[in-house]
Amino acid sequence: MNEHWTTVIKPKTRLLDLNLKELWKYKDLIVMFVKRDFKTMYKQTILGPLWIVINPMMTTLMFTIVFGGIANISTDGMPQFVFYMAGNTLWSYFSTCLTKTANTFIDNSAVFGKVYFPRLVTPISTVLSGLINFFVQFCMFMIFVLYYTLTGNAVHPNTYILLTPFLLLIIAMLSLGFGIIISSLTTKYRDLAVLVTFGVQLWMYITPIVYPISQLSAKGQSIMLLNPVAPIVETFRYAFLGSGTIPWFYLGIGVITTLIVLFVGIILFNKVQKTFMDTI
């Protein structure tokens, strides 16, 4: 009797075994995880999804008071609030995706041990669910950009706004790559999970979020822009505010770095997922 199976589950023998066709077949599961992540984030909270608005507003206000008011750090002539909001909009998406993806194996170990599905579904769903928060924060940012533009402030949006989907794709891939690398390592070395939060906070201060890159020397700018997030933030800020310049060369390096990080992440992820249930 001939048996025809619609799905065959077999061990992955290659390190770089990314079956995009299989991932696409599980697109409904990805959507379900996106909904789960969104609901879980605001479950049993008084204000619920309103925190999507409150968090970035409070953070931006804090930056404005501390760095703009008390420290009196220059914003290159830009209105302080919208300057900090531009950096915070991108950074909050990147940092949230990175920290959540870094806990993929630990947070989903119970599900992974019960049923088969491509393990990359969970980190991908985390990155996609973060887009909901980003979209709301981005809409708020656009309202302030429009306000400052119409009131004659030194805010000059330009056609480079069209690069936004590209910038968002790169920063999503970068957070996914670093996240799955950390997640793969934390299955064996739990100490890394403790260091992730501190590391992300430190990373923010070596990225031009609360200060313009023009405040650094030429050598300092070159070193700073090797940070793959820095040219993305600078390009985003220039596109919507007209502040600074677009560091095309370093943006290209950032794209190459992102692809390498994602490549290495997928290799480690595929290697660890075979045995992580024995070490988690």
Q: pLDDT, tens digit, for every residue of 38-56?
A: 777 666 566 666 777 778 8
- The answer to whether residue 194 sits within a structural domain is yes
pLDDT score of 220 more than 70? yes
Range of the domain at 246: 36-279
* Cα-Cα end-to-end distance for the chain: 41
What is the distance between the alpha carbons of residues 269 and 72, in angstroms, rounded to a whole number? 44
What is the distance between the alpha carbons of residues 254 and 95, in angstroms, rounded to a whole number? 17
What are the C-alpha distances in Å from 105 to residues 8, 57, 122, 188? Answer: 23, 32, 9, 11
235: left (phi over 0), alpha (psi -120 to 50) or beta: alpha
What is the distance between the alpha carbons of residues 165 and 107, in angstroms, rounded to a whole number? 29
Query: Pick from 56, 86, 58, 99: which is nearest to 186 by CA?
Result: 99
pLDDT score of 16 more than 60? no
pTM > 0.75:
yes
Average pLDDT value over all residues in the chain: 84
What are the C-alpha distances in Å from 66 to residues 57, 60, 86, 116, 181? Answer: 14, 10, 17, 49, 34
- The answer to whether residue 176 sits within a structural domain is yes
- The answer to whether residue 220 sits within a structural domain is yes
- The answer to whether residue 13 sits within a structural domain is no
Does residue 100 or residue 238 have the better pLDDT? Answer: 238
pLDDT (mean) for 191-209: 86
Share of the chain above pLDDT 90, in %: 39
pLDDT score of 145 more than 90? yes
pLDDT score of 204 more than 70? yes
| pLDDT confidence tier of residue 33, bands split at 50, 70 and 90 | confident
Residue with tokens 């980003």: 134
Question: How far is Cα of residue 264 from the mean position of the Cα atoms in its chain?
Answer: 17
pLDDT score of 231 more than 90? yes
Other beta carbons less than 10 A from residue 271's beta carbon: 15
Number of domains in the chain: 1
- The answer to whether residue 49 sits within a structural domain is yes
Which DSSP string corresponds to 216-233?
A: S-HHHHHHHTTSTHHHHH
- The answer to whether residue 29 sits within a structural domain is no
Q: Are 121 and 33 in contact (CB under 8 A)?
A: yes
- The answer to whether residue 14 sits within a structural domain is no
- The answer to whether residue 58 sits within a structural domain is yes
